[in-house]
Amino acid sequence: MSDEKYTIRILPTYLADLQEIIYYIRDVLKNKTAAQNFLDKTAKAIEERAYNPFLFAPYSSRKRREHAYYPIYVGNFIIFYVIIGDVMEVRRLIYNARNIDNLL
């Protein structure tokens, strides 16, 4: 791991995705422990990746983008971020069975 950490910027779209998922796990499935564990895992995954955000290949997409999307896999979900200068901008959290290209 690198000693230098990129600045993490969390966008409202990611927070809305996360809130919806946590609500579903905690309130619909009635599993507060699993909701907290998922929250902890996503936070840890983002923190760890901030030390080396180019660690994995960019997400392959049909759309042309100014900044490539990079994935972080957490269970059945994918966290998507872009790199802008020294900032790792976390944009989305999507269930991996959904049509991801339409959601990004």
Give Rg (Cα) of the chain. 14
Per-residue pLDDT band at 104 (split at 50, 70, 90): low
**With 80 as the cut, is the pLDDT of residue 88 above it?**
yes
First to last CA, the chain: 28
pTM: 0.89
What SS3 class is residue 29?
coil
Could you state, in order of their start, the residue ranges of all structural domains in the chain?
7-103
Q: What is the pLDDT of residues 8-30, one digit of tens each?
A: 999 999 999 999 999 999 999 99
- Domain 7-103: CATH superfamily, name plus number: RelE-like (3.30.2310.20)
